[in-house]
Structure 1
Amino acid sequence: MVLLESILTGTTIAIGSGTLLYYYQKELLYPAKYRKKSRDFTVPKFFDEEIPCTEVILTTKDKVRIRAYLCKRKNDEEACERPTVLALHGNRGNIGKQSSITRNFYHNFKCNIMLLSYRGYGSSDGIPSEEGIKIDAQTALDYIKQHPILHDTKVILYGSSLGGAVAIDLAAKNEDEIDALIIENTFLSIPKLLPTLFYPLKYITFICTQIWPSDEQIKKIKKIPILFLSGKLDALVSQQHMKELYELSNTLAGKEWKEFPYGNHGNTITQPCYWNVIEEFLLWAIFDKNSKRGMNCQ
């Protein structure tokens, strides 16, 4: 009797969860509409004070106006010689929260950096979806490759959480346009992520319309070096997802794995030596090894 009650309870929960998942999966995965912090975007003051930054309004092929901020090296001659980073944020924030990313890539690594705001996030128009965000990322990359100063610069994709899935997809489709890929705490796919969040969802993942199949896309990347940054204590996206992505990757350009023992889903970027690991990766993947001094690990 107890077993029957447990089965009925589990079935009821699964059905109820499935109904919510089917009708509201976009709202659950891309909560910008309901999270004030994701929608409200304020340009950090240091952009104007420390880093030259220009707002860019892009129109996608499906006629959605999205925003990005381009932080280009002050001198055009330097800008055209340094790499350009396309930063792709997670599902719960926006580019106004990426001050650490901007400062490190701009000041310490002397890169240009473009911060993309997906449709429905920050000041961008539209409603988020897998198809739409992929279009947004492609639009941003196309802008860089057509830019009068940056068009021939080496391009680095940096993505965390959902941004990692966006970066993997973009790299898989544009290998000839991208020179390095950095991903942090991202997942194999949405259907494979859901059961780790709530086990009964294992039986209804077939109703997912938002897939983000990074486990399939990463296998298509053959000639781009990849850095995997993983927080061991990540309770939202199990570290096993990152480990499997690393194993599935068969790029011929080299790959590196770095685990942060005390990193969770949100604080991995603040862990000791996080930026040193990225620098070491860039030194062999992008920069001339003799052109830049290393940073002290603290």
Structure 2
Amino acid sequence: MFDLNLPPWLICSLLYVALVIAFGIFWPYIFQCQLIYSSWYPPGSRTKIAKPSDFGINYTEEVLTTKDGIKLRCYVITLDDIIEAKQAATILYFHAGTGNMGDRLPLVKVFNQKLGANVVMLSYRGYGFSEGKADEKGLRLDSQTLLDFVKEHDILQHTNLVAFGHALGGAVAIDLVSRNNSDFAGLILENTFLSIPKVISNIAPWLSYLTLLWHQKWPSETSIQNIINLPVLFISGAKDELVPIAHMKKLYQLCGSRQDRCWVEFATGSHNDTCLVPGYFDAIDDFVKGKILISQHWVHGGFMLDLLQVERLDSSSSSLQDTSDLYHRLLQHGPVEEQQLALEQLYDDETLYLTD
């Protein structure tokens, strides 16, 4: 019908241009999982995975099976003393999109041996020695599998659970906690993003026109609004070159938790080295011990105000402080703030004891 009588070389050229344009438009859709879940980088990340014992950490390695039949590797690191382990917090550590869980062991050693926490590390599907290929749906199943395992663990089921996520791991942690609020005592987020399309638009603005092709979403800006009744710590490196600090600030504003939201900003921290900035571990330690472990004396296992004891230093006997007024103010202020009020009212010659 349309006989243009084009020469063969021109037809080939037009076809070539059309293919290049089509590839330029659709390559984000085809290859986005390889870009987001960079388990192949740095080279050797699928074949060389450090073990906790390489860093002097006692651990067990578990193989977990997800609901869709994928076998995952995970490191379980508990305090050596069982009683201390049950009284400590347990950090479910979700790492960023590159490398493997072994790369984060220097951090985990500090969490375990310096801050006194149990730590569980997950190797997502398609990472390290875990089976399968990574995608958003799969990682959601992986994180839920880890939580279900921890809730059945002989020791860890008795502890306060804290989800910790860095970058992509932050999106995984937000999603998991938003679906399992009642199972967690806290959440820690470091340099994570509002959503995949929005962070991609920041990294490569020209791709913002193709955001409809991104089937990997991780809509943390929506999920975080479903996180309520637990404290959340936001750790942000002001010089993050991949995730603008505005993402973290917006997540902080959107967080639906009615309890404490804590913001810690490190002026010199970038995307991957915020953990090296002085004060990083202090911020985490203060959050865990000040917002989670202290509050467990008030709410863990039921109402425990009747166990608040004041021992007078000038007397060998102990007496129970009247709890009726504390009870009414606790209902008004909440456990952490009420504990601070109680401390402020003690006389100089009295020492506060919270007993299990």
TM-score by length of 1: 0.88
Q: For 1:101, what is the secondary structure of its paired residue?
A: helix
CA contact (8 A) 1:179 1:224 kept: yes
* 2:334 equivalent in structure 1: none
Counterparts of residues 140-151 of structure 1 (less than 5 Å): 140-151=146-157
CA contact (8 A) 1:85 1:112 kept: yes
Displacement, 1:250?
2.8
Match of 1:29 among 17, 29, 36: 36
Unaligned runs of 5+ in 2: 1-18, 298-356
Match of 1:190 among 196, 203, 217: 196
Q: Residue deviations 1:29-65, cap 9 Å, x none?
A: 1122464243233334x62663211110000000000
Match of 1:162 among 160, 168, 171: 168
Following TM superposition, the consecutive aligned residue runs of length 4 or more in structure 1 with deviations greater than 4 angstroms are 12-17
Structure 1 position 248 matched with structure 2 position 273: no
CA contact (8 A) 1:14 1:200 kept: no
Q: Distance in 2 between matches of 1:149 and 1:58?
A: 17
- Number of residues paired by the alignment? 278
Moved more, 128-137 or 30-39: 30-39
Displacement, 1:170?
0.5
- RCO higher in structure (CA 8 A, sep ≥6): 1
Structure 1 position 202 matched with structure 2 position 208: yes
Q: Distance in 2 between matches of 1:275 and 1:114?
A: 18
Displacement, 1:67?
0.2
Structure 1 position 59 matched with structure 2 position 104: no
CA contact (8 A) 2:55 2:106 kept: no
TM-score by length of 2: 0.74
Q: Residue deviations 1:248-278, cap 9 Å, x none?
A: 1131111011111111111001111000111
CA contact (8 A) 2:89 2:162 kept: yes
Q: Distance in 2 between matches of 1:14 and 1:170?
A: 38
Change (3 A) 1:56 1:247: same
Change (3 A) 1:49 1:121: closer
Structure 1 position 132 matched with structure 2 position 138: yes
Q: Distance in 2 between matches of 1:251 and 1:66?
A: 31
Displacement, 1:79?
1.7
* 1:74 equivalent in structure 2: 80
Counterparts of residues 1-298 of structure 1 (less than 5 Å): 17-33=24-40, 35-44=42-51, 47=53, 50-288=56-294
Q: 1:281 is matched by which residue type in structure 2?
A: F
Moved more, 52-61 or 69-78: 69-78
Q: Distance in 1 between matches of 2:185 and 2:124?
A: 22
Unaligned runs of 5+ in 1: 1-11, 292-298
Larger Rg belongs to: 2
Q: Distance in 2 between matches of 1:63 and 1:268?
A: 36
Q: 1:18 is matched by which residue type in structure 2?
A: I
